[in-house]
């Protein structure tokens, strides 16, 4: 077996650099795509909460903070009748009605927690109410839903 030295004399240094740069550009594009696309989708595709709203919902506001891959929080407020609020709870699924005997008082601190730097449309709904709550918890993820003065107040967070 004969070894050719120097190898590939027909390829210049500039051509080798072009191949390396092209490969690096492809790798960089893939990494950026994996980071950017989920964050764009989470802001463009309607959230599960918005999709669960009955058609009669009006005065709908929604705010999302965070990253699709890490910690995030979402608040949603919509004007609904009490019947449509219960329809929303059924449409959303996986929510349990708050009961003091089952959940205790400790959960009220989480249910009634404020939302840091909340927009004006949300701040009026931070007052504590001990009934009409629905919630879901799983590790560091939780959802709370309450009905106050004709409005659905939805808060979802992973911390």
**CA pair distance 3, 7, nearest whole angstrom:** 8
1 found inside a domain:
no
**1 band by pLDDT with thresholds 50, 70 and 90:** low
Q: Does residue 77 share a domain with residue 24?
A: no
Mean pLDDT of 74-101: 88
Mean pLDDT of 60-73: 78
Query: Alpha helices of the chain — where are they, by DSSP H?
Result: 13-44, 48-52, 82-92, 100-103, 106-111, 120-123
5 found inside a domain:
no
Please give the mean pLDDT across all residues of the chain: 76
Nearest to 154 by CA among 81, 73, 58: 73
Domain of residue 115, residue span: 48-158
Determine what percent of the chain is predicted with pLDDT higher than 90: 16
pLDDT in tens, 115-141: 566 788 876 555 565 557 787 878 778
Q: Does residue 39 share a domain with residue 54?
A: no
Mean pLDDT of 18-38: 77
pLDDT in tens, 140-158: 788 888 888 888 888 888 7
89: its two tokens: 């709870």
18 found inside a domain:
yes
pLDDT in tens, 2-20: 665 555 555 565 566 566 7
Q: Looking at residue 85, what is its pLDDT? A: 92
């Amino acid at each position: 077996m004969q070894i050719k030295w120097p190898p590939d004399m027909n390829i210049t240094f500039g051509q080798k650099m072009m191949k390396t740069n092209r490969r690096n550009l492809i790798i960089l594009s893939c990494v950026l795509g994996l980071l950017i696309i989920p964050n764009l989708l989470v802001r463009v595709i309607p959230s599960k909460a918005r999709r669960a709203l009955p058609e009669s919902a009006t005065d709908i506001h929604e705010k999302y903070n965070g990253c699709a891959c890490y910690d995030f929080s979402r608040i949603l407020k919509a004007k609904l009748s009490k019947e449509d609020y219960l329809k929303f709870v059924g449409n959303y699924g996986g929510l349990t009605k708050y009961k003091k005997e089952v959940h205790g008082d400790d959960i009220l601190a989480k249910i009634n927690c404020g939302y840091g730097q909340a927009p004006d449309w949300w701040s009026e709904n931070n007052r504590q109410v001990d009934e009409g709550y629905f919630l879901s918890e799983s590790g560091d993820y939780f959802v709370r839903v309450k009905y106050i003065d004709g409005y659905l107040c939805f808060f979802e967070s992973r911390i």
